[in-house]
Amino acid sequence: MEPIEGELALIPLTLDDIDDGMALVTEAGWNQTPADWRFMLTAGRGMGLRGDAGRVVATSIVLPYRPRVGWIGMVLVAGGYRKRGIATRLLRAAIEHCRRQQLTPMLDATPAGREVYRRLSFAGGETIERWRGAGAGAGEPAGPVDVDLAARMDRDAFGADRRNLLADLAMRAGAPLFQRHGSVLLGRRGRTATQLGPLLSHDEAAALALCERAVGAIAGPLLIDVPVREEALRGLLASRGFGVERSFTRMSLGIAAPMGEAMRAIAGPELG
């Protein structure tokens, strides 16, 4: 895809671009860390644009979750470069990459982005709420978790193989990891808050117990992204002083498997 005159050229992102990516994350008030960028750029395909000063001013990433999902995330544009159609260019390039790889493009859309994606023929699915609160900080030790168990449950619930993601989360230093009676909760330390998820459980009571355990153990700000169908989990979070910060709509360009009932909380909109 050749740029027209005056356009910035699309470039592949590398691990050398993480600092520029973090500058965009900070400007947007997002929660990702260098460890998140490292996983996404290693496991997926990042594209961006470099501004006149030589720094990356816009990004997008496609994570290939085989056999059929191309997860699109990290669509970020620096403030001085917005309103130029850059986000749409990055999105179209991501869609084109998914099609070449025979992957179904999927993403979690904010309310503002939902109409943009619909114009590109994305169809909406489940609504997911981001809940923010604070942990009690009792300091109960976390982990380890059975990554093989988590990967099997996640594949059934998400509809694709994400063992590489779950293994990465489980290996991170200080990661919040909890397991109980065949249910698993993973998480990661974020830039501004600890992100909980995915929470994988076929049993609602076990899922609630794991979430309550994590909220009691972890100190400081917490985020968890919960499908609105999970009424009991949402009720638990509300009772612990959490509130809804924003919502997302899971969208796909083509036929995608619905989220399985074992997915009580997702890994995050950038990861699926």
What is the domain partition of the chain in residue ranges?
10-125, 127-265
d(CA 32, CA 38): 10
**How does the average pLDDT of the chain come out, rounded?**
94
d(CA 237, CA 241): 7
Q: How would CATH label the architecture of 10-125?
A: 3-Layer(aba) Sandwich (3.40)
d(CA 71, CA 164): 14
Q: How far is CA 93 from the centre of its chain?
A: 19
Q: Which two tokens stand for residue 65?
A: 């979750």
Q: How would CATH label the architecture of 127-265?
A: 3-Layer(aba) Sandwich (3.40)
Residue 226 β-bridge partners: 129
Q: Is the pLDDT of residue 39 over 80?
A: yes
Q: Is the pLDDT of residue 145 over 50?
A: yes
Q: Is the pLDDT of residue 196 over 60?
A: yes
Cβ neighbours around 216 below 10 Å, total: 14
**Which has the minimum average pLDDT: 73-77, 102-106, 211-215, 255-259?**
255-259
d(CA 21, CA 77): 10
Average the pLDDT over 90-115 and give the result: 95
Angle subtended at Cα 169 by Cα 133 and Cα 264, rounded to the nearest 5 degrees: 55
Give the model's pLDDT for residue 64: 99
Q: Which of 24, 98, 110 is nearest to 118 (CA)?
A: 110
Q: Is the pLDDT of residue 143 over 90?
A: no
Q: Do domains 10-125 and 127-265 have the same CATH topology?
A: yes
Q: Is the pLDDT of residue 135 over 90?
A: yes
What global pTM score does this model have? 0.94
Share of the chain above pLDDT 70, in %: 97
3-state secondary structure of 173: coil
Q: Is the pLDDT of residue 177 over 50?
A: yes
Q: Is the pLDDT of residue 4 over 70?
A: no
Amino acid at 37: W
Q: Is the pLDDT of residue 75 over 60?
A: yes
3-state secondary structure of 12: strand
The one-character DSSP state at 253 is: S
204-217 and 231-239 helices, crossing angle to 10°? 30
